[in-house]
C-alpha cells in the first residue's frame, strides 16, 4: 500500500466521523420553571409530543401579587393553535390583539382563578402540544410564578413522541463505530510497514467517538425511564465529547500540515496555527 493510498484512507475515515448523524434533542421530561418579575406579554414555554394514552400533569404556583386578571397559561394541541400564533409571538405587544381572546383552549390555567392551577389528564388526541403564556392586562405589570410539569408517554416513556428510539439509535451507532474501530485496527495491522503516528491518532479518535456515543445512549435511556437528567452519565458524556472534539481538530490539523506522513516535525508557524485553533476550540 502506497503512502498516497494511506493518506486517502485517513481522509476517508475523517469524513465518516464528520458526517456522523445528528439526532433530535429531547425537550420534554419532568420540568420545573421559575419566572420572576416577568414582563413579556406572551411566550412559548414548552412543546411536547404525546401519543394516545400519554399523561400530562402541570401544577402552577402564583404569589398573590401576581394573580392578575387576563393572564393565563394555555395548553394547546397543534391542530387548535391559531395559524398566526408564530407570527404573533414575534410581534411587539399590542393591547388590542390578545392571544387569550383569539386562541380557544380547553386546558387553561387562569392566574386569577386558583381552581385552574392544576392540570392533570390523559391525552386522547396524539400530536404536539404547546404550553403558552399570555398576559393581556396592564402593560406595566410584572408577574412571578413557578411551574412543575410531568409529561409521560405510554410504556413509561418520558421522551417526546418520535424520540422513543433515540437511545437505541445512539447505542447502535456506537456499535457501528466500534465495528469500524476493529476494521481500522485490522487494516493498520496488515499494513504495519506503512503505518505512521497519525494513523494511531485516528484509532484513538475512533475510540473516543465510540465511548462518547455509548455514553449519549445511556443518558437517553436514563431520561426515557426516569424523566430527568440527574445522572452521572452526563459528566462522563461531556468529558468524552470534549476529548473527542479536541482530538478531531488535532487530527484534521495534523493531516493538513502533512505531519507524520510527509514530514516528522512541524515548523514554528504550523505549531502556532495548531495552538491557536485548539485555543479557539
Q: How confident is the model at residue 55 (pLDDT cuts 50, 70, 90)?
A: very high
| Residues 122, 205 within the same domain | no
* Residue whose grid cell is 393581556: 136
User: 92-100 long-range CB contacts below 8 Å, 24 or more apart?
Assistant: 93/41, 93/42, 93/139, 95/136, 95/139, 98/70, 98/134, 98/136, 99/42, 99/74, 99/132, 99/134, 99/136, 100/70, 100/72, 100/74, 100/134, 100/136
- How is residue 141 annotated by DSSP? -
Residue 29 CA to residue 150 CA, distance in Å, equals 6
CATH of the domain at 98: 2.60.120.680
Return the pLDDT at 235: 93
> Considering the domain boundaries, does residue 142 fall inside one?
yes
Return the pLDDT at 79: 83
Residue 66 CA to residue 69 CA, distance in Å, equals 9
Residue 173 CA to residue 276 CA, distance in Å, equals 32
95 dihedral zone (left: phi>0; alpha: psi -120 to 50; beta)? alpha
C-alpha cell at 238: 461531556
Q: Please compute, for residue 109, the number of CA atoms within 13 A of its CA located in the half-sphere on the CB side.
A: 22
Return the pLDDT at 207: 96
| Residues 137, 180 within the same domain | no
pLDDT digits (tens, 9 = 90+) for 256-279: 777 766 677 777 887 787 778 777
Return the pLDDT at 262: 60
pLDDT digits (tens, 9 = 90+) for 158-210: 999 889 999 999 999 999 999 999 999 999 999 888 888 888 999 999 999 99
> Considering the domain boundaries, does residue 158 fall inside one?
no
- Please state the rounded mean pLDDT for residues 245-257: 85
> Considering the domain boundaries, does residue 157 fall inside one?
no
Last residue of a domain, one of 131, 152, 173: 152
Kindly report the average pLDDT of the chain as a whole number.
81
Return the pLDDT at 89: 58
| Residues 16, 66 within the same domain | no
Is the per-residue pLDDT at 27 higher than 60? no
CB burial of residue 195 (10 Å; 0-12, 13-18, 19+): middle
Last residue of a domain, one of 107, 124, 152: 152
| Residues 12, 51 within the same domain | no
Is the per-residue pLDDT at 51 higher than 70? yes
Return the pLDDT at 97: 64
Residue 98 CA to residue 135 CA, distance in Å, equals 8
Residue 131 CA to residue 149 CA, distance in Å, equals 10
Domain that holds residue 252: 3-24+163-280
Q: Give, in degrees to the nearest 5, the angle at Cα 180 between 177 and 182.
A: 120
pLDDT digits (tens, 9 = 90+) for 112-140: 999 999 999 899 999 999 898 988 877 78
| Residues 41, 116 within the same domain | yes
Q: Helix, strand, or coil here: 104?
A: coil
Classify strands 71-77 and 107-110 as parallel, antiparallel or unpaired.
antiparallel
Q: How many domains does the chain have?
A: 2
Residue 244 CA to residue 17 CA, distance in Å, equals 10
> Considering the domain boundaries, does residue 261 fall inside one?
yes
| Residues 173, 208 within the same domain | yes
Return the pLDDT at 54: 94
H helical segments located in 152-192: 166-190
Is the per-residue pLDDT at 11 higher than 90? no
- Please state the rounded mean pLDDT for residues 93-104: 65
Amino acid at each position: 500500500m502506497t503512502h498516497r493510498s494511506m493518506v486517502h484512507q485517513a481522509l476517508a475515515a475523517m469524513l465518516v466521523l464528520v458526517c456522523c448523524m445528528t439526532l433530535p434533542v429531547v425537550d420534554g421530561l419532568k420540568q420545573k420553571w421559575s419566572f420572576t418579575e416577568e414582563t413579556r406579554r406572551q411566550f412559548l414555554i414548552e412543546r411536547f409530543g404525546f401519543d394516545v394514552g400519554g399523561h400530562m400533569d402541570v401544577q402552577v404556583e402564583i404569589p398573590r401579587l401576581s394573580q392578575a386578571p387576563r393572564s393565563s397559561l394555555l395548553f394547546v394541541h397543534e391542530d387548535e393553535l391559531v395559524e398566526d400564533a408564530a407570527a404573533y409571538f414575534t410581534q411587539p405587544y399590542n393591547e388590542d390583539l390578545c392571544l387569550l381572546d383569539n386562541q380557544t383552549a380547553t386546558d387553561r390555567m387562569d392566574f386569577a382563578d386558583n381552581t385552574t392551577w392544576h392540570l392533570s389528564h390523559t391525552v386522547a388526541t396524539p400530536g404536539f402540544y404547546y404550553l403558552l403564556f399570555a398576559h393581556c392586562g396592564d402593560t406595566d405589570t410584572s408577574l412571578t410564578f413557578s411551574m412543575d410539569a410531568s409529561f409521560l408517554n405510554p410504556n413509561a416513556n418520558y421522551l417526546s413522541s418520535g424520540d422513543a428510539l433515540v437511545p437505541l439509535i445512539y447505542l447502535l451507532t456506537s456499535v457501528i463505530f466500534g465495528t469500524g474501530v476493529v476494521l481500522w485496527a485490522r487494516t493498520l495491522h496488515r499494513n504495519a510497514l506503512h503505518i505512521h503516528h497519525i494513523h494511531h491518532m485516528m484509532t484513538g479518535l475512533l475510540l473516543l467517538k465510540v465511548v462518547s456515543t455509548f455514553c449519549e445512549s445511556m443518558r437517553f435511556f436514563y431520561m426515557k425511564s426516569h424523566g430527568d437528567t440527574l445522572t452521572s452519565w452526563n459528566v462522563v458524556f461531556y468529558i468524552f465529547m470534549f476529548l473527542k472534539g479536541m482530538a478531531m481538530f488535532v487530527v484534521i490539523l495534523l493531516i493538513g500540515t502533512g505531519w507524520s506522513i510527509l514530514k516528522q516535525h512541524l515548523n514554528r508557524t504550523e505549531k502556532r496555527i495548531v495552538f491557536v485553533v485548539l485555543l479557539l476550540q
